[in-house]
Chain A
Amino acid sequence: MNKLFFDKVIGDPLNRVDGRMKVTGAAKYSAEYQLPNLVHAVVVPSTITKGRIKSVDSKAALRSPGVLAVISHENAIKVPGNADNEHPTEPPTGGQPLRAFYNNKVYFNGQPIAIVIADTLERAQYAAGLVKFEYDQDKHVTDFELNKGKGVLPEKAKKDPKSSLADYDRGVVDAYKTAAVTVEAEYIHPTEVHNPMELQAITAYWETDDKLTVYDKVQGTKPTQQAFAKEWNLPVQNVKVISEFVGGAFGNGLHNWPHETAAIIAAKMVKRPVKLMLRREHMFYMVGYRPYTWQQIGMGASADGKITGISHIAIGQTSTYEEFTESTVQQTKMMYASPNVSTRYRILPLDVSTPIWMRGPGEATGAFALECAMDELAFALNMDPIQFRLANYTDEDPEKKLPWSTKYLKECLEVGAEKIGWSKRSMKPGGLRAGEWLVGYGMGVGTFGAHRGAAAVRGRLLANGTIIFQSAVTDIGPGTGTAMVQIASEHIGIAPDKITFQLGNSDFPQAPNQGGSATVATVGSAVVATCNAIKEKLLTMAPTAEKRFANAKMEEILFDNGQMSLLKSPSIKVSYTNILKKNSLTEIDIIQDAKPDDESNKYSKYSFSVHFVQVHVHPTTGQVKVNKVVTCADAGKIVNKKTAGNQLIGGVTGGIGMALMEDAIIDHRFGRYITKDFADYHVPVHADVPQIEVYFVDKPDYIVDPMGTKGLGEIAIIGVAPAVANAVFNATGKRIRQLPITPDKLI
C-alpha cells in the first residue's frame, strides 16, 4: 500500500478568511443586530407535558414596566399559511411541525406557549415570570423503555416500500442464528442535545406589512426563506433571511422551530423589530435533539471470520405530532460483505418535542451498535478487530450492487493501526496496564453518503482584478467561505486574497441547507461552474485586448495569477483587468448553477473514516480517560487541511462526549428534563480531550464532484463512540452497551 497518500495535517493550509472577524468580535451573529426601535422577546415554556391551556393570565405581566405585549394562542394573529387541521398528516414523513400559538394544545414539556415583548431584555424576562397559565392536564407518555414495543414503521416507509426507511432484507432473514459463532446484543443510545455554543436566536423585522426580514440562526437561508414565505403566504422574494455567521449548530438549524414563528408573530403585532434569543435550557426541548434510540443486533460468522448474517433493529424516539426519521441502520446495509442482512427501523412517538439530525445523525447512533457488535463478534472469534473487518471488506456496495466511486478504507485501517500503536494491543481484555490504570485499545469505522445537491453561485469579476462570489449557503463552522475561496482560486486563477466569498443571505443564489456533509461538493461545484463560465466569457473577449487569442480554445489556455496565457507560448498573455478595460466593461457578472450528473448514479458514493482510541480505565473508581485518538478519513480531495483537520478534531470531541458523558434525562413522572444545563449535561472539557491525530487519504473522487471532494463533517463523529466503548472493553472486559460510559457502570 502506498503511504504517500497520507499527510499529517500540517503544510500550508489557508487560514480562515473570516478568522480575524470571529476572534475580534467583528463577526455578527443573529442576536447581534441592533435595528432601530428593536424590542426584546422572551418565550414562556409550558410546565406540563400534555393537555390543554385553560387560561392565560397576563394581567400582571402587562402591568409590568416596559412590557408591550404578551402573546399566546389566545391573542396571537393568525398565521395565514398554517394548515387548518386538528390532526396533522402532512409531510415531511408524517405529521407536521408544531405551529406556534395555533391552539391551546400542549404536546410536550417546555413547549413555547407565550412570548413576552418588552423594551429591554431584563424587563421581558421579569414579565415572562409573571404570566400564569391554568391547564387541563392529560396523562403523558415519555418513557421510551416502557413503550418501545409500540414503535411503528414511519409513514414514508408505509407509502414507499423502496424507501431507505422500509424493512430491508438481503438473503435470508436472521441467517446469523445458524452461524458457527454468533453474538446478540441490545444497545441504548440516550437522548443527546446539540448544544452549540451560540444559542438559537432570531431578530424579526417587518419592513412593510408584507415584507419580512429575519436575522436567524439557521443552516439554510433559502429553505428558511421558503418556509416563512409559505407560512406567511408571501412571495418568496418578500422574505429575506440573513445568517451570515453561525456559532455552531450540529443540525439544530435544519428545521424551523416554533420560537422563530413566535418572534415573527410578535414583530408583526407590536410593529417593531423583535429579538429573541433562547436560554440554554430551551436548547434541550425547543430546537431538536438526537433521539433516544434502542437497537438490537444479531450477527453471526463462520469460524474463519466471514460474516454470514446481520440483523439490526433500531427504534428511535419522535414526537406525537411530527415524524422524525434518520438512517440509523444504513451502515449495516452496506459496510460488510454479509450475504444475509436484515434491518428494521421503527419510530416511537412520545409526548416529547421533535428530534432533529444531530451531527453524524442516525448513522452515528447506528454505528455505535454495529461497530460494537463487530468488536463483540471479533472477540468471540478470537480475531483481531481489524483483521475481522478486512475479512469482510467489500469492493462494491453490497446493498446497491454498485461499484464504489472511491473507497480507501483499507488504507485508513492500516495507517490508523500503525499510528495508534495497535500492535501493542492485548487480545485479552485487561492485559495491559500503565501503573494502576488498565489500558485498552479500540476502533470503530464510520461511513456517510458522499452527497451532492444542486446550487448556484454568482461571480463578479471586477475591473481591478478582484472577484466576489455570492451564495445563500451558511457556514455553521467548517470554514465554508475559506474552502470556497480556495476552490475559486484554483479554478479562476486569482490569488485567494483577491477573492471574496459572501454567504448567509437569501438574496444570494440558491444553496441547500448546510447539512449532511454536502456543502463543499454542492456549492463548490457551482463555484467551479461559475469560474468556468467566467473563463468562457474572458476567452470570447480576450481578442479585443490581445489579438493572438482570436482562435484560441479553452484547453489551450492557462488561467493563473489574474491573467490568461497560451500554454504553448506563455509569453502570449493578457490580464483579466486588461480584457475588461479593452471591452469597456466594469465587471463580468455571471450566475451559474451546477448539479450532479446521471453518470454519478452508476456508483455508490460514501466517505469513510476509522477512529482508533486508547483509553485508560481506573480499576476501582471506574474513571475513563481517553488517552489518545487517531482518526483516518477518506473524504476525497481535502480542500483545506487545516479546517478539515479542525472538523475531524471537533467531531472526535463530540464522539468522546457521546461515549462518556452526554445524557439528557427525563423524569417521566413529570415529562421534564432533569439534566438541562451545562452543570448537569456534560460535554467534554479540555481536560477530557487528549491528543487527536488526524490523517487524510486525500485522494480525489471525481465521480462525486469536479473538485474530487467527499463529505467530512459527519464521518468525524460516526464510529468514535464504539471505538471508545471497544477500548473500554479491551481495558476491562466490561461491555457497556448503554451510553454514556460513566464511572458507575464500570465498578
Chain B
Amino acid sequence: MNQFQYSRVTHSNAAVSAVSKEKAAMFIAGGTNLIDLMKRGIVNPTRLVDINRVPLNEIKTEGNSLIIGALALNGPVAESKLVTEKFPLLAQALNAGASAQIRNMATIGGNMLQRTRCPYFYDTTMPCNKREPGTGCGALEGFNRMHAIFGFSDQCIAVHPSDMSVALAALDASVLVIGPKGERRIPFTDFHRLPGDKPQIDTNLQAGELITSVTIPDNGFNKNVHYLKVRDRTSYAFALVSVAAALQIEKNTIRDARLAMGGVAHKPWRLTEAEKFLIGKPVSEASFSEAAKIAMQGAKAFKYNTYKLTLAPNSIVQALKVAAKLV
C-alpha cells in the first residue's frame, strides 16, 4: 500500500471540494473494496476523503419514490421495511451480495462503484487494460470463465460484480450526484459504461462527483419479483449469471416487465427488448423462453464461458418462473 493523506469531512460540498483539489484523491466510505485495491497496489490514491460522517444515510419515501442515501449500508437497506415491502427485488439482490459482515460495512454508493473482480485486474503482474491501459487484456485469451458475453470490447471483457446494481437497473432507478458544477441526476442504466477503448473508466461520473442518493420510482413491482443468482457456492461468491426479474400480472397476462442480468457485461445488463416482448403475453414458460431467446441476441462467448450462453437464458426463464410463481 502506498502512503496517503487522510481527511474527514462532514458535508457533501466539503467532500467534493476536497477530492477536486487533488488529482489522485478519492472518497472512502465503507472501504470494503477500496482498501483491498489499495493493499494490492491497484489504486494508489494520494488522499482519502472520509465521507462517513456526511449525513447521507437516510432511507425515505418521497411521493411514490424511494430515496436511499448513498451512505446507507447494504445490510440495513435490505432489511428496511420501506424496501422489503415495496421493492423486494432490491432487498433480494442486496442479500445475494457479499457476506453479512461486508453488507454491514458497504454503502449503497460504494456498492455501485466496486471494481470488477477479474483476476487479471487484481494481479499487478498480469496484463490488464482496466488497471493499466495499454498492457492488454489478460482475460481475452486467458481464464475467462467469469467474463462477459455482452458489450465487451477487445480491450476488456470484465464484468461488473454488483448484485444490487442489477436490481437498480431493472427498477428504473436514478442516481443523484453532486460535483464541482452542482447537482445532476443520472439514469441508472447510464451510470455504468461499457469498456470500449477506455476500460479504465467504469462509470459516467465526472471528476470530483459524489453520489448522494439513489431514487427508485414505485412502478408497482412488489409482488412478482425474483433475483436469481447462480454461483459456485451458496453464499459469498460472485455471480456466474444473475437475473433480476419483475412482473406485473393481471389475469395471467403480463402487464409490465423489468428484466436485467448480472455477470454478463461490464455493466448491469438491462433487457429492454425482452421486457417489451413480454408485455401482453400470457404467463407461461413458453413466453419466458421466447423472452430469454430475445435477451440472448448478440451474445458471444469466449473459451471458458460458453456455458453462459446456456446458463443465462436458463436463468432468465427460471427467474421469471419464480417471479410469476410458476414454481
Interface of A toward B, CB cutoff 8 Å? 47, 125-126, 129, 435-436, 618, 620-623, 625, 660-661, 665, 667, 669-670, 672, 674-675, 677, 679-680, 682, 684-688, 740, 742-745, 747
Contacts and interface: CB of A to CB of B under 8 A. Distances in A.
B3 A688 contact: no
A438 to B, nearest CB: 14
Given A674-B119, A744-B240, A685 B235 contact: yes
A144 to B, nearest CB: 15
B233 A625 contact: no
Nearest to B315: A621
Given A621-B228, A744-B240, A685 B234 contact: yes
B3 A126 contact: yes
Contact of B232 (A620, A625, A682): A682
Interface residues of B, number: 36
26 contacts: A125-B1, A126-B1, A129-B1, A129-B41, A618-B318, A620-B317, A665-B143, A667-B126, A667-B142, A667-B143, A670-B126, A674-B119, A679-B238, A680-B117, A684-B233, A685-B234, A687-B234, A687-B235, A742-B232, A743-B230, A743-B232, A743-B311, A744-B240, A744-B307, A745-B307, A747-B307
Contacts of B230: 621-623, 743
A745 B238 CA distance: 17
B111 to A, nearest CB: 16
Interface in B120-156: 122-123, 125-126, 138, 141-143, 145
Contacts of B310: 747
Contact of A744 (B2, B236, B311, B327): B311
Contacts of B327: 435-436
Nearest to B308: A744
A677 B230 CA distance: 20
A47 B41 contact: no
Nearest to B98: A679
B144 to A, nearest CB: 10
State the 9 A-B residue pairs at the shortest beta-carbon distance, nearest first.
A744-B307, A687-B234, A620-B314, A47-B125, A687-B235, A674-B119, A674-B143, A621-B230, A685-B235
B237 to A, nearest CB: 6
A60 to B, nearest CB: 13
A659 to B, nearest CB: 12
A747 B125 contact: no
A688 B141 CA distance: 32
A682 B237 contact: yes
Interface of B: 1-3, 41, 99, 117, 119, 122-123, 125-126, 138, 141-143, 145, 228, 230-238, 240, 307-308, 310-311, 314-315, 317-318, 327
Contacts of B238: 679
Given A621-B314, A672-B125, A685-B234, 14 more contacts: A129-B41, A618-B318, A620-B317, A621-B230, A660-B232, A672-B123, A679-B237, A682-B232, A682-B233, A685-B99, A687-B233, A687-B235, A744-B240, A744-B307
Contacts of B125: 47, 670, 672
A669 B240 contact: no
Contacts of B235: 685-688
A680 B9 CA distance: 35
Contacts of B234: 625, 685, 687-688
Q: Which of A126, A669, A740 has the most CB of B within 10 A?
A: A669
B138 A621 contact: no
Q: Which of A126, A667, A669, A688 has the most CB of B within 10 A?
A: A667
Given A667-B142, A674-B143, A747-B314, A660 B233 contact: yes
A625 B235 CA distance: 12
Nearest to A675: B119
Contacts of A435: 327
A667 B240 CA distance: 19
Nearest to A744: B307
Contacts of A618: 318
A622 B311 contact: yes
Contact of A688 (B99, B117, B122, B233): B233
Contact of A685 (B119, B138, B228, B236): B236
B231 to A, nearest CB: 8
B31 to A, nearest CB: 16
